Amino acid sequence: MDPHTQDGGFMSTSKEDREYAMWRAYRSIDIANELGCDMIVLWLAREGTLCAESKSPVWATKMLIEAINKMLEYDPKIRVCIEPKPNEPIDRSICGTMGHVMAISAATIDPSRVGGNLESAHAILAGLDPAHEIGFAMAMGKLMTVHLNDQNSIRYDQDKSFGVENLRAAFNQVKVLKENGYGEHGEYVGLDVKAMRTTKDEDSYKHLENRDFEALEMYVMELLMGIA
């Protein structure tokens, strides 16, 4: 929402904007410390460009790595979790997939503290299989957290409820997480959903009324297995 972040923060062509982005990152780390949390998530929604010729992707990638290095230096305990997104609200993302996250992580001063947050809808926006993106990150020991939801093809980012578009894809995401012990070391699963864009204000929280997501997930699994 801030004008300083309209052209991305860490890779804005404006030095003032980049400094604002770092101030905000440091503030977030301070807040995390106050909450007893050792991890922050970077949602790089605007880290890219609306005009391909407006900035060099080489320079922009280096700016992102430099920004993460500054965060790692600011706090020796903080972990930085990158949530990749291929597009929308920008056209061209600099770090759009889990593969990009792995490369960025390897280029930082402390790769052990840099990983990823896979969101199902973002993988689908990139034309990828969310379960395979999850599996790739887990194989590298880099899946710090995961946001499960759904998406109707490569449209705008929809954040639909998990499983409403593709039950088999939802099943496979849960399968790869379960089979590989996700959560055994304190990792969390988030269900990242929002009201549809056509929803009236008075109805915008209806998707939160049923908070028994464990029961809902089991119900979906039982339906998939034909026992419900």
The model's pLDDT over 132-164, given as tens digits with 9 standing for 90+, comes to 999 999 999 999 999 999 999 988 898 988 988
If asked whether residues 173 and 207 sit together in one domain, one would say no
If asked whether residues 43 and 136 sit together in one domain, one would say yes
CB under 8 Å, gap of 24 or more: what pairs does 166-169 form? 167/220, 167/223, 167/224, 168/224, 169/120, 169/129, 169/130, 169/131
If asked whether residues 180 and 199 sit together in one domain, one would say no
If asked whether residues 47 and 95 sit together in one domain, one would say yes
If asked whether residues 48 and 147 sit together in one domain, one would say yes
CA-based diameter of the chain, in Å? 59
Q: What residues have CB less than 8 Å from 5, skipping those under 6 apart?
A: 12, 17, 20, 21, 46
Q: In terms of residue numbers, what domain contains 228?
A: 195-228
Q: Which of 183, 177, 206 is nearest to 193 (CA)?
A: 206
The model's pLDDT over 44-92, given as tens digits with 9 standing for 90+, comes to 988 999 899 999 999 999 999 999 999 999 999 999 999 999 998 888 9
Which amino acid would we find at residue 162? F
Domain count, the chain: 2
Half-sphere exposure of residue 3, counting CA atoms within 13 Å on the CB side? Answer: 2
Q: What is the pLDDT of residue 106?
A: 98
The model's pLDDT over 83-134, given as tens digits with 9 standing for 90+, comes to 999 998 888 999 999 999 999 999 999 999 999 999 999 999 999 999 999 9
If asked whether residues 26 and 48 sit together in one domain, one would say yes
Q: What is the pLDDT of residue 21?
A: 96
If asked whether residues 119 and 135 sit together in one domain, one would say yes
Q: Which of 179, 171, 104 is nearest to 135 (CA)?
A: 179
If asked whether residues 138 and 185 sit together in one domain, one would say yes
If asked whether residues 172 and 212 sit together in one domain, one would say no
Q: Dig out the tokens for 129 from the structure.
A: 């299989």
Q: How confident is the model at residue 6 (pLDDT cuts 50, 70, 90)?
A: confident
What is the CATH classification number for the domain harbouring 64? 3.20.20.150
